[in-house]
Amino acid sequence: MAHTSIINLPTAPAIVGNVALWKPSRTAVLSNYYYMKLLQWCGLPAGVINFVPCTGVDMSKYVVSHPKMAGFHFTGSTGVFQSVWKQVGENIASYANYPRLVGETGGKDFIFAHNTADIEPLVAAIVRGSFEYQGQKCSACSRAFVPASIWPVVEKRLKEQTATLKVGDVQEFDTFMAAVIDKASFETCKGYIDRAAASPECEFVAGGTYDDSKGWFVQPTIIRCKTPTYESMVKEIFGPIVSIYVYEDDKLDETLAICDSASPYALTGAIFAQDREVIVKMEKALRNASGNFYINDKCTGAVVGQQPFGGARASGTNDKAGTALNMIRWVSAHTVKESFCPSSAIAYPYMTEA
């Protein structure tokens, strides 16, 4: 599970009366362990939430296939969630109940600008939304669409702002970006950068370099893509790389349709415009492209209790973690009727002649 979900995933089912098994991500075991210790310090009874660091294979073999598994609350990759769903389907006849499957998986989150957008907030949203936490958030901006008429000034400001970002040790408070989480993530980012460097469809606006001599560091990278379906515009990367497609101003409708359909995901998205009629039009065109939608704000940073979080399509089941909508998924409803004036009649009134 991702860091952003460590609180909700094991505790939501437990709060409404279930026993939970908590399998942390292999790259987040330590932080998850400390949170488990905090729960115990706060008085969590033993056996309610059970912290079980293990391999995914063992989780599938011993837990997902167990007849008493009543639900699976997941944050992670789309591929893993699909494999779990498949395994549940194959074992459906052996469960005591039909398991509840709730997943928040991948994303290819977007920022879409109109030519009436305020430049500085747009630039800030792209830079911060793409590069904070090294882009390792499911809601991080990973692609952007910018109209040609404002692109020159947007490009200039993106270069200037990205150049100010300090990449280094997180113990230094002025550091904006650290290393990516592990070697596998580094190699993924490196692959996208290398292929973009070799492709005639791409040019670097910023970054495009990396260094693993000490840690796994990828510089904040902005790629301008000549086509909106180039791989870095449609595939999830989960790193500090954002791809931008510059569209002709008179191709707004066409480009909105591409943004909606080019990626299988639908997690978060944002639009920037000052024309209210255009805002309404863009929101309508992109209503199915994200579960969390932002107007004149970055596409990341949902606040629990204020902005229920989740997405649909390949991004998950959209059960809105952190809200009552999610909690209901872990409850088995029980309806009771008591009659204080029980009827002794058998025949219904319409059956009797007047």
The residues annotated with a catalytic role in the active site are 104, 138
Q: Which of 248, 143, 158 is nearest to 205 (CA)?
A: 158
Asked if residue 284 lies in contact with residue 96, where contact means CB atoms within 8 angstroms, the answer is: no
- List the alpha helices (DSSP H) in 91-164: 119-131, 151-163
Q: Which of 299, 292, 293, 297 is nearest to 322 (CA)?
A: 292
φ, ψ for residue 59 (rounded to 5)? -60, -40
Q: Which of 327, 352, 354 is nearest to 100 (CA)?
A: 327
- Kindly state the helix (H) or strand (E) to which residue 222 belongs, with its residue range: strand 221-225
Asked if residue 224 lies in contact with residue 123, where contact means CB atoms within 8 angstroms, the answer is: no
Residues 6+ apart with CB under 8 A from 293: 268, 269, 270, 271, 283, 286, 287
Asked if residue 32 lies in contact with residue 6, where contact means CB atoms within 8 angstroms, the answer is: yes
